[in-house]
Amino acid sequence: MNQAIERLYKRRRFGIKPGLDVELKLLETLGNPHERYPSVHIAGTNGKGSVAAMVASILRCAGYRTGLYTSPHLVKFNERFTVDGIQIGDAELARAIERIEVQIPVVAGITGKEPTFFECSTAIAFDHFAARGVDVAVLETGMGGRLDATNVVTPMIAVVTRIGLEHTAFLGSDLESIAAEKAGIVKRGRPVVCGMMDPAARAVVREAALAAGCAFVDAEQTVTARICSESLKGQTLAIETEGDSYGRVRLPVAGRHQVENVVTAVAAAETLNSHCGLSLGGNAVKQGMEALNWPGRFQLIREVPPEILDGAHNPDAARALVATLKKLAPRSPVGLVAGMCADKDARGFLSEFRDTAGRLWTVPLRNQRGMPPDELRSIGETVGLCSETSELPQALQAARDWALDAQGVICICGSLFLVGEVLEIEGEHAEV
């Protein structure tokens, strides 16, 4: 099993190659598994993973056998491929990888290109979901949309979540350009659900929908979610739409940005109801939200001192994270433990914590994309954060000692890769 995954990881050396020809050919050699079930396709900068998890949870609670494909994983590669909330088993994954590997030389010979790591992973997802006989698959794009390997499907609906500046070398240097790439998942005649976002980005998504003859659903205009109560452990929302009231719903994740994701997910569920013939009643929406399992998103992993784990890794997400910390722990200084990928806007990210973080520990990532922690520490110092560099276990302990003395809150963020490393360390020892 481990050897099979290692062989797959080695395909990262082929880098990122936007385009659909290799994925389409790879799927053709497998019998086009992506055409055997309907799908929900989700793109965006922030919130796409959370919305995907919410929609999948609602579908499961409505009785549909549901596949969910997300990336990256936190601790184990298997996390990327779930059916009804259950990860693919080790033996099944090893067989899936071997099935793909048999086709790689065929595809390379035809296309003249080696399938990348993500293209192979995406093919595994499609193949696994077909083998397990899913009723519907929920697919999160990897990067962008138009040329993302997942964009080989013609989904029941396309969902676009909040858009920000990211991967500018591939997607464009402004919001409008990035929005156009994300909106590349729109397919003719299929409804488009648009989450909350900058008006300029929304205009691009709306135009793409209208040009393709699609119904355009503005989630913010059709769904309202009001916070009734909130804590570090989660929040209770009153959710209403134009045609229904879902009452009070207990959401097991905190943060006002998650309220935004709820609005988008509920709009997607209602669109699947009204336009696609699925039966996702009020009970399914309520139960799906309350049953959500989405670790690493404002996750309270210890209570004394409070220790928050969050995958925020860009300035927009940092802004939402800071707002949540200020709301839920208003009088507590924040000790920040951060590790980031080298291609992220570290200065913009850390600047958001300038008035909130009392201390910063920068740590290395166990990933070749990681930014050297000394470089991240220097950036932290330039934006006014008292910073030091340490290995992750030592940084966590130092942050806990500091938080106990300062009556503060620890926030671990900057990368989902870092979230995974912390969950590996803390998994069995988490108090919450």
Can you tell me the mean pLDDT for 145-162?
97
Q: What share of the chain is helix, strand, coil (3-state, %, to 5)?
A: 45, 20, 35
At 193, is the pLDDT very low, low, confident or very high (cuts 50, 70, 90)?
very high
Asked if residue 202 belongs to a domain, the reply is yes
**Angle (deg, nearest 10), helices 117-131 and 21-29:** 40
Under 8 Å CB-to-CB from 387, ≥6 apart: which residues?
359, 360, 361, 362, 377, 378, 380, 381
Contact 134, 56 (CB under 8 A): no
pTM of the full structure: 0.90
Do the strands 66-69 and 81-83 form a parallel or antiparallel pair, or are they unpaired?
Answer: antiparallel
Q: Are residues 343 and 257 in the same domain?
A: no
Q: Could you say which DSSP state residue 115 is in?
A: P
Write out the residue range of the structural domain in which residue 330 sits.
299-426
Mean pLDDT to the nearest integer, 324-342: 95
Does residue 21 surpass a pLDDT of 70? yes
How are beta strands 39-43 and 157-160 bridged, if at all? parallel
Provide the number of structural domains found in the chain. Answer: 2
Identity of residue 101? E
**pLDDT value for 2:** 76
Q: Please, are residues 251 and 234 in contact by the beta-carbon 8 Å criterion?
A: yes
Tell whether the model's pLDDT for residue 428 goes beyond 90: no
- Cα separation, 101 vs 356, whole angstroms: 49
User: How does DSSP classify residue 184?
Assistant: G
Give 214-231 pLDDT, tens digit per residue.
999 999 999 999 999 999
- 411 is a domain residue: yes
Q: Are residues 241 and 317 in the same domain?
A: no
The DSSP 8-state label assigned to residue 311 in this structure reads -
Q: Are strands 223-231 and 234-241 parallel, antiparallel or unpaired?
A: antiparallel
Is the pLDDT reported for residue 431 higher than 70? Answer: no
Which CATH number characterizes residue 97's domain?
Answer: 3.40.1190.10
The residue to which tokens 């080696």 are assigned: 114
Tell which of 290, 324, 357 closes a domain: 290
Are 1 and 90 spatial neighbours (Cβ–Cβ below 8 Å)?
yes
% the chain with pLDDT above 90? 86
Among 290, 318, 333, identify where a domain stops: 290
Inside any domain, residue 419: yes
Q: For all residues of the chain together, what is the average pLDDT?
A: 93
User: What is d(CA 363, CA 370) in angstroms, rounded to the nearest whole number?
Assistant: 10
The pLDDT value recorded for residue 1 is 56
Classify residue 143: in a domain, yes or no. Answer: yes
Residue 253 shares a structural domain with residue 309: no
CA–CA separation, 296 and 284 (whole Å): 24
- Asked if residue 355 is part of any domain, the answer here is yes
Q: Are residues 255 and 185 in the same domain?
A: yes
Average pLDDT, stretch 380-396?
A: 96
Q: Is residue 337 domain-shared with residue 218, that is, in the same domain?
A: no
Residue 326 has pLDDT above 50, yes or no: yes
Sole residue written with tokens 């929609």: 55
Inter-residue contact 47 to 195 (CB < 8 Å): yes
Give 70 or 343, the one with higher predicted confidence.
70
pLDDT greater at residue 425 or residue 87 = 87
Banded model confidence at residue 429, pLDDT cuts 50, 70, 90: very low
* pLDDT classification of 276: cutoffs 50, 70, 90: very high
Q: 361 and 264, same structural domain?
A: no
Query: Which residues share a beta bridge with 41?
Result: 139, 158
Length of the chain: 432
**Amino acid of residue 57:** S
* 183 and 269 belong to one structural domain: yes
Q: How far is CA 227 from CA 128, 224, 241, 284, 423, in A?
A: 38, 10, 15, 20, 28
Q: For residues 31-44, give the mean pLDDT.
A: 98
Domain check: are 116 and 135 in the same one? yes
Give a yes or no: residue 432 inside a domain. Answer: no
Residue 282: the pLDDT is 72
Taking the C-alpha atoms of 117, 123, 128 and 134 in order, what is their torsion angle to the nearest 10 degrees? Answer: 130
Instruction: Say what the pLDDT of residue 169 is.
Output: 60
CB 117 within 8 A of CB 11: yes
In the structure, what pLDDT confidence band is assigned to residue 173 with cuts at 50, 70 and 90? low
Supply the pLDDT for residue 275: 93
Of 417, 422, 151, give the one whose Cα is nearest residue 307: 422
Among 15-19, 263-267, 357-361, 367-371, the least confident range: 15-19
Average pLDDT, integer, range 389-414 = 97
Asked whether residue 190 carries a pLDDT value surpassing 70, the answer given is: yes
Average pLDDT over residues 120-124: 97
Do the beta carbons of residue 168 and residue 175 sit within 8 Å?
no
**Same domain, yes or no: 246 and 321:** no
Pair 11, 4: CB distance under 8 Å: no
Do 236 and 314 lie in one domain? The reply is no
User: Is 1 or 196 the better-scoring residue by pLDDT?
Assistant: 196
Supply 307's token pair: 């220790």
pLDDT recorded at residue 368: 82
User: What pLDDT shows up at residue 116?
Assistant: 94
Both tokens assigned to 107: 């595809």
Looking up residue 314, the CATH number of its domain turns out to be 3.90.190.20
The predicted model gives 81-103 an average pLDDT of 96
Q: Is the pLDDT of residue 432 over 50?
A: no
Give the number of other Cβ atoms within 10 Å of residue 371's Cβ.
21
pLDDT > 90? residue 333: yes
**Same domain, yes or no, for 183 and 280?**
yes
214 within some domain: yes
Judge whether 431 lies within some domain. Answer: no
Q: Are residues 179 and 317 in the same domain?
A: no
User: Which backbone phi and psi does 246 adopt, to 5 degrees?
Assistant: -95, 5
Average pLDDT over residues 197-205: 96
Last residue of a domain, one of 290, 309, 336: 290
